[in-house]
Amino acid sequence: MKALVLHAVGDLRYEDAPEPPLTPGSVRVRVAFCGVCGSDIPRIFVKGTYRFPTICGHEFAGTVEAVAPEVRGFAPGDRVAVFPLLWCGKCGACAERKYVQCENYDYYGSRRDGAFAERVVVPPRNLLKIPDGVRLEEAAMTEPAAVARHALRRVADRLDGRSVAIFGAGPIGLMVAQWARAMGAASVSLSDPIARKLDLARELGFDAGAPPERADVAVDAAGAPPALLAAMRAARRGGAVVLLGNPAGDLTLPSALWSQLMRREVSLHGVWNSDYGLEDDRDDWKAALEAMAAGRLRLRPLISHVVPLAEGVAVLRGMRDGRDFYSKVLIRP
């Protein structure tokens, strides 16, 4: 099969890779679309993966192509979204069904081969059927949509009728904004240094531009130190700051702002990934797919590029170099 294979930091090649074997108890998925995550750019060009060669890509959806004989509940042709974390099932976190906190996990696209490839083999417990009316390109964004929802659930009791300010108007920021509106926020604003991102936010019906003076909930959806500092400045008395973006560098916290966080009794919420595999509404994945089906989450406007796998190397380099305007980039193997 064809894949984007990372041989070393920055050494990404479009080439033939072995097909993953259909192991007992598993399902082979023909990848339809795999999104480029903000974390993929440093993973490919700066930090590398856990071993080489690796196929990156963890935000994906596709169609079931083959099912091992003992697997029940899935059949060829089923459209599926894939939870990309493989949990051990034995540690304390797994016992509490906090799979993303698993002490011994595996992960498509970083620890093991992912979906910048034509095929991936997945255990059925990591598959969710895509509801009718949700397209495969939208379903490929279930992971970031679930992460965005998870971030706001930490402050769910502070949203109804309140103000939310989001720092960073990339795909994840725009998803947080849509969830905030769906969860009852009275005002939602986004800020970002890139004007085109603000245009997109306005097209989706949000206030975008200069950050508001104060907000009940301030979300860093960028991971850049200036964005987190701006979020901390914006949180009003008794408000909350949500740390969602992956840190892009060290942060120096000015003592005056530090003091303000104390005086205003602002709470800081670290959030990580999403909840999956739960029976109730804590399951961010089911909720994300349901919200897409119901039209509460509009993800297609976030897609700026859909490129075939053969052009994947060029588009990933372009994203690294900031050559174009990028929002959600989907690779189509």
37 forms part of the interface with Zn ion (CB under 5 A): yes
Buried b (16+ CB within 10 A) or exposed e, 291-301: bbeeeebebee
Rounded Cα–Cα distance for residues 319 and 333 (Å): 18
- Among 299, 181, 253, smallest CA distance to 243 is for 253
Least CB distance to Zn ion at residue 208 (A): 23
Q: Is 94 near Zn ion (CB under 5 A)?
A: yes
Which CB atom, from 91 or from 271, has the smaller least distance to Zn ion? 91
What residues numbered 256-285 form the site for Zn ion, per CB under 5 A?
Answer: none
Answer for which of 8, 46, 75, 88 binds Zn ion (CB under 5 A) is 88
Residues 300-329 that bind Zn ion (CB under 5 A): none
| Segment lying near Zn ion (by CB under 5 A), choices 100-108, 159-167, 224-232, 279-287 | 100-108
**Stretch of 85-93, 132-140, 153-161, 214-222 lying at the interface with Zn ion (CB under 5 A):** 85-93
Nearer to Zn ion, 37 or 292 (CB): 37
- What does residue 233 show for φ and ψ, rounded to 5 degrees? -65, -35
Q: Look at residue 189 and give its three-state secondary structure.
A: strand
User: 39 vs 260, which CB is nearer to Zn ion?
Assistant: 39
Q: Taking the CA of residue 35 as centre, how many other CA atoms within 13 Å lie in the half-sphere pointing to its CB?
A: 29
Q: Which stretch binds Zn ion (CB under 5 A): 5-13, 93-101, 199-207, 217-225?
A: 93-101
- Using CA atoms, how far apart are residues 15 and 4, in angstroms rounded to an integer? 6
Q: Is 177 helix (H, G, I), strand (E, B) or coil?
A: helix
Contact 184, 160 (CB under 8 A): yes
What single DSSP character describes residue 45? I
Q: Which is nearer to Zn ion, 211 or 223 (CB)?
A: 223
How many residues form the binding site for Zn ion (CB under 5 A)? 6
- Is residue 91 at the binding interface for Zn ion, with CB under 5 A as the rule? yes
Q: Contacting Zn ion (CB under 5 A), which of 44, 55, 102, 224?
A: 102
Q: Give the integer Cα–Cα distance in Å for 222 and 170.
A: 8
Binding site for Zn ion (CB under 5 A): 37, 87-88, 91, 94, 102
